[in-house]
A and B are shown apart, each in its own frame.
Chain A
């Protein structure tokens, strides 16, 4: 693989119109590189769910991806409110999403579990009252599987 590719996308809380812009660019980039469809799907699910989490919970944040060597690194960071109990947040069905997000079909408590299921590695750093950073790694394997 040649030189690394990367891009950056700002995200605004409460604005679903920005959701999916970063994950769509990542999908296009990976498709152009001839990455297996299953890898593209896993990376796109992780990126999209992470974008949605920022839009639902935070005032603002950003998504950054970097494709280099044999991995895709997706970093999603936001400005609060932070996660009080990461263990609880990882439980499928647990949610602190507001009603307006549920009306849009989000906030079912599946976002972080979906990311964990599709990522090869997931690191969550969160400080309540300050913000959260997700670092997601997807390995570029020939068969596209985890």
Chain B
């Protein structure tokens, strides 16, 4: 599944310019940045409520496919710029983290024919 396909399946708004053809390898939900640095995997889509510019650096270091910011939170323009410069797509949803993670996880199960997200 790519980010573009996910946008079509979940109500997500694209907040910056970036490649939406990137394949998503799985998802990781966390608001603790060191946790993502330790456990996020390359190509993962990161689901979080954090919005400050450090999330762009974390996603870039780990080679994540993108970030979904939950709860309709306002995203710092500097975060969007930094993410864009790193090639990281930022998406926004009005859903909370738990709901978002559940939906994305189930979409992965369907996409992989019952495999693990």
- Chain A: residues with CB nearer than 8 A to chain B? 16-17, 19-20, 23-24, 27, 37, 41, 44-45, 48-49, 52, 104-106, 108, 110-111, 113-114, 117
Rounded to whole angstroms, the CA-CA distance of A35 and B52 in the bound complex is 29
CB contacts (< 8 Å) of A113 on chain B: these are 38
Task: Check B63–A106 contact: CB distance below 8 A.
Answer: no
Describe B's contact surface by its main secondary structure: helix
Task: Check B37–A17 contact: CB distance below 8 A.
Answer: no
Task: Check B61–A108 contact: CB distance below 8 A.
Answer: no
B62 interface residue (CB < 8 Å to A): yes
**Interchain residue pairs A-B with the least CB separation, the first 8:** A110-B34, A20-B57, A105-B33, A108-B32, A44-B61, A105-B50, A108-B34, A45-B37
Interface range for B = 20 to 34
Residue pairs across A and B with CB atoms within 8 Å: the count is 62
Known: A37-B63, A49-B37, A110-B35. A17 touches B53 (CB 8 A): yes
Describe A's contact surface by its main secondary structure: helix
Task: Check B61–A23 contact: CB distance below 8 A.
Answer: yes
Q: Which of B31, B37, B48 contacts A114 (CB 8 A)?
A: B37
Task: Check A19–B54 contact: CB distance below 8 A.
Answer: yes
CB contacts (< 8 Å) of A17 on chain B: these are 53, 78
CB contacts (< 8 Å) of B38 on chain A: these are 110, 113-114, 117
Q: What are some 12 contacts across the A-B interface (CB < 8 A)?
A: A16-B53, A19-B57, A20-B53, A20-B57, A41-B62, A49-B37, A105-B52, A105-B54, A108-B32, A108-B34, A108-B35, A111-B34
